[in-house]
Chains A and B, each alone.
Chain A
């Protein structure tokens, strides 16, 4: 009987209930959207933050303690310690391989530059790297990576250089980029020919002639250098198959107390803490795994970038939580007002039920059941709308859809029902206080 009453009374006072359902639906839409975004925003924002550069630098272990006095690097192992280019794929084969957005090696060669047929020459550095190089992986032979992936903010006036295929050992580098400041200093533009002669003690490589394919603007040291495919820098330095450093861009989660403790010394972690840290995408645990993958390599997080990412993402998630709570609170207040009016409108019905011998809980069950159903209907509608809005926001802001986890649906439905029930607490007190004699003997 109670269920039958619940169902049939659901259609009583339809306008107010539709309004209450709409209020809940709006709140549920917002909560669904924000929940879906906050779950996905970590990845989305982290991916966006990757456009501001790499967050891990891998160098040979001996390179991590440099000794520079008066601009002269006194590192005794300099020029001897490098990393094998053939090991780079291992970075993309660690436990958190899917979080590695890209990588780009670096090898710097000091050169003397002669522009076309002009007299005189200038000094510069050639930074060899990958632009969009194919790096065969065990499970993906066509994987491509380079600075175009990890530094999408680099601007090139002209064309990107053409990189030789790694399988074609006879291929020669024909094109390079010239940093904007150096191009201005040398007076070169896209299409000019350069002759690059290695300089430095003990370097015997032949000069190389290349064409400037474009002028590069990064806002960093590359603006004063020639940026070329890695093979050219290797040829100019005589370090075939070697790199000095690797910049890695990885999707990470915000740092916390555990990762801070691990950063100080992983030996301080308990076995359980170590497992938890190792299996979380902290920038420090990813760096640790890179060191495990490449012998003699030191992977160091670029803390300014990593910390910045963590702080921004953490604040965004907090903001989304606060907005969600505000939406739920507003909905609860709106529903409370509507439920109060509904109960006052149905005072005679409540009085009659009491007069017929209904226990207080039976009347509360009816009205709170109605409220719960309204919340459920509004919540279901809100989930659908919220999914749509989340997709729209995802495409509009991040250029891709939002992966809404299925758990969002029951969570939002429960929140919606609870919102209405909380909003009905005060109106329900009206039921308790209402005395049948006050409403039943009113003359028509």
Chain B
């Protein structure tokens, strides 16, 4: 089945499986591997994430967390194994198809926020809408309200604190109602207060039935997840 057909089928299933209890598979990784030359960054990793799960990927530096995250977010492709995202086999997709699936299915939260510096908070959220479908300022504003940033909608990133920027980043990840939210060390650059606020926000999203995969090396944050995938030297342990 062609990737675009798979996407159409997945959308149809979205409508049919609207109830959170359906617990459909969002990520299905089987024997995932990623080799860079002679270096095996990821070896035979298998796991499943179902709708509403909150999975923490943990491990020391160089354990393969970011490599796995890149594959799950379709920024990279595995060199072996298979990886289904919301029912679509992504391991063999072309770069162009991965772009389409990524903007449809994945919301990304980065450690360093990555907001466009010359766009206001609401415009940064609208940018994700623009690449997905059509920018809608009201919807973008509502997403900012959802993360408690409505009052700062027209501020530039440089006028926001780190915690505020991360909440804008989360609003951007949420705006297109993705099947999966991938957060890469989302509190890594935040102080304790802002770390707590961001984690509370992710918790509340989990309770709403969102599927979240969190990459962290912080055990306290990992403990808040439903399950933990530990990596060491590229292998699940």
Q: Which residues of A contact B (CB under 8 A)?
A: 1-2, 4-5, 8-9, 11-12, 348-349, 351-359, 362, 435-437, 440-444
Contacting pair B118 A440 (CB below 8 A) = no
Q: Which residue of B lies closest to A13 (CB)?
A: B118
Interface string of B53-78 (1 = CB under 8 A from A): 00000000000001001100101100
Interface string of B100-120 (1 = CB under 8 A from A): 101110001011101011110
In the assembled complex, the Cα of A63 lies from the Cα of B213 at a distance in Å of 105
Contacting pair A12 B188 (CB below 8 A) = no
> Which of A353, A359, A441 has most chain B Cβ within 10 Å?
A441
Which residues of chain A are within 8 angstroms of B128 by Cβ–Cβ distance? 356-357
Q: Give the interface SS of chain A, mostly helix, strand, loop or mixed.
A: helix
Q: Which residue of A lies closest to B117 (CB)?
A: A12
Shortest beta-carbon distance, B217 to chain A, in Å? 12
Contacting pair A1 B126 (CB below 8 A) = yes
Contacting pair A441 B135 (CB below 8 A) = no
Listed from nearest, the 6 A-B pairs whose CB atoms lie closest are A357-B103, A1-B130, A357-B131, A444-B112, A8-B118, A1-B135
B164 close to A (CB within 8 Å): no
Q: Which residue of B lies closest to A7 (CB)?
A: B118
Contacting pair A12 B118 (CB below 8 A) = yes
Shortest beta-carbon distance, B75 to chain A, in Å? 5
Contact A11-B102, Cβ < 8 Å, known A1-B130, A356-B131, A442-B112? no
Contacting pair B66 A4 (CB below 8 A) = no
Q: Which residue of A lies closest to B184 (CB)?
A: A441
Which residues of chain B are within 8 angstroms of A354 by Cβ–Cβ distance? 99
Which residues of chain A are within 8 angstroms of B86 by Cβ–Cβ distance? none
Contacting pair B116 A440 (CB below 8 A) = no
Partner of B131, one of A4, A348, A362, A436: A362
Partner of A11, one of B70, B110, B118: B118
Which residues of chain A are within 8 angstroms of B184 by Cβ–Cβ distance? 441
Partner of B188, one of A5, A362, A443: A443
In the assembled complex, the Cα of A353 lies from the Cα of B130 at a distance in Å of 11
In the assembled complex, the Cα of A444 lies from the Cα of B128 at a distance in Å of 23
Which residues of chain B are within 8 angstroms of A12 by Cβ–Cβ distance? 117-118
B132 close to A (CB within 8 Å): yes
Which residues of chain B are within 8 angstroms of A8 by Cβ–Cβ distance? 118-119, 123
Which residues of chain A are within 8 angstroms of B159 by Cβ–Cβ distance? none
B189 close to A (CB within 8 Å): yes
Contacting pair A357 B99 (CB below 8 A) = yes
In the assembled complex, the Cα of A359 lies from the Cα of B131 at a distance in Å of 8
Contacting pair A356 B127 (CB below 8 A) = yes
15 contacts across the A-B interface (CB closer than 8 A): A8-B123, A12-B117, A349-B117, A351-B114, A355-B114, A356-B128, A357-B99, A357-B104, A357-B132, A358-B99, A362-B131, A437-B76, A440-B75, A441-B111, A443-B185
Contacting pair B70 A437 (CB below 8 A) = yes
Shortest beta-carbon distance, B168 to chain A, in Å? 13
In the assembled complex, the Cα of A352 lies from the Cα of B118 at a distance in Å of 14
Contacting pair B112 A5 (CB below 8 A) = no
Which residues of chain B are within 8 angstroms of A348 by Cβ–Cβ distance? 114
In the assembled complex, the Cα of A8 lies from the Cα of B69 at a distance in Å of 32
Contact A355-B119, Cβ < 8 Å, known A441-B184, A443-B188? no
Q: Which residue of B lies closest to A2 (CB)?
A: B130
Q: Which residue of A lies closest to B114 (CB)?
A: A352
In the assembled complex, the Cα of A178 lies from the Cα of B128 at a distance in Å of 91
Contacting pair B127 A5 (CB below 8 A) = yes
Which residues of chain A are within 8 angstroms of B126 by Cβ–Cβ distance? 1
CB interface residues, B 158-187, toward A, < 8 Å: 172, 184-185
Contacting pair A440 B131 (CB below 8 A) = no
Contacting pair B112 A443 (CB below 8 A) = yes
Contacting pair A443 B111 (CB below 8 A) = yes
Contacting pair B127 A355 (CB below 8 A) = no
In the assembled complex, the Cα of A4 lies from the Cα of B188 at a distance in Å of 32
Which residues of chain A are within 8 angstroms of B131 by Cβ–Cβ distance? 353, 356-359, 362
Which residues of chain B are within 8 angstroms of A11 by Cβ–Cβ distance? 118
Known: A8-B119, A353-B131, A437-B75. 10 other contacts (CB 8 A): A1-B135, A8-B118, A349-B116, A355-B73, A356-B103, A356-B131, A357-B131, A435-B75, A440-B114, A443-B111
Contact A357-B112, Cβ < 8 Å, known A5-B119, A12-B118? no
Contacting pair B99 A4 (CB below 8 A) = no
Shortest beta-carbon distance, A8 to chain B, in Å? 5
Contacting pair B110 A440 (CB below 8 A) = yes
Shortest beta-carbon distance, B155 to chain A, in Å? 14
Which residues of chain B are within 8 angstroms of A5 by Cβ–Cβ distance? 116, 119, 127
Contacting pair B73 A352 (CB below 8 A) = no
Partner of A355, one of B75, B117, B188: B75
Which residues of chain A are within 8 angstroms of B185 by Cβ–Cβ distance? 443
In the assembled complex, the Cα of A146 lies from the Cα of B31 at a distance in Å of 101
Contacting pair A441 B127 (CB below 8 A) = no
Shortest beta-carbon distance, B179 to chain A, in Å? 14
Q: Which residue of B lies closest to A352 (CB)?
A: B114
Which residues of chain B are within 8 angstroms of A351 by Cβ–Cβ distance? 114
Shortest beta-carbon distance, A431 to chain B, in Å? 14
Contacting pair B76 A357 (CB below 8 A) = no
Contacting pair B108 A9 (CB below 8 A) = no
Q: Which residue of A lies closest to B70 (CB)?
A: A437
Which residues of chain B are within 8 angstroms of A442 by Cβ–Cβ distance? 112
In the assembled complex, the Cα of A443 lies from the Cα of B111 at a distance in Å of 7
Which residues of chain B are within 8 angstroms of A441 by Cβ–Cβ distance? 66, 69-70, 110-111, 184
Contact A352-B116, Cβ < 8 Å, known A1-B130, A441-B184? yes
Q: Which residue of A lies closest to B135 (CB)?
A: A1
Q: Which residue of B lies closest to A12 (CB)?
A: B118
In the assembled complex, the Cα of A356 lies from the Cα of B127 at a distance in Å of 8
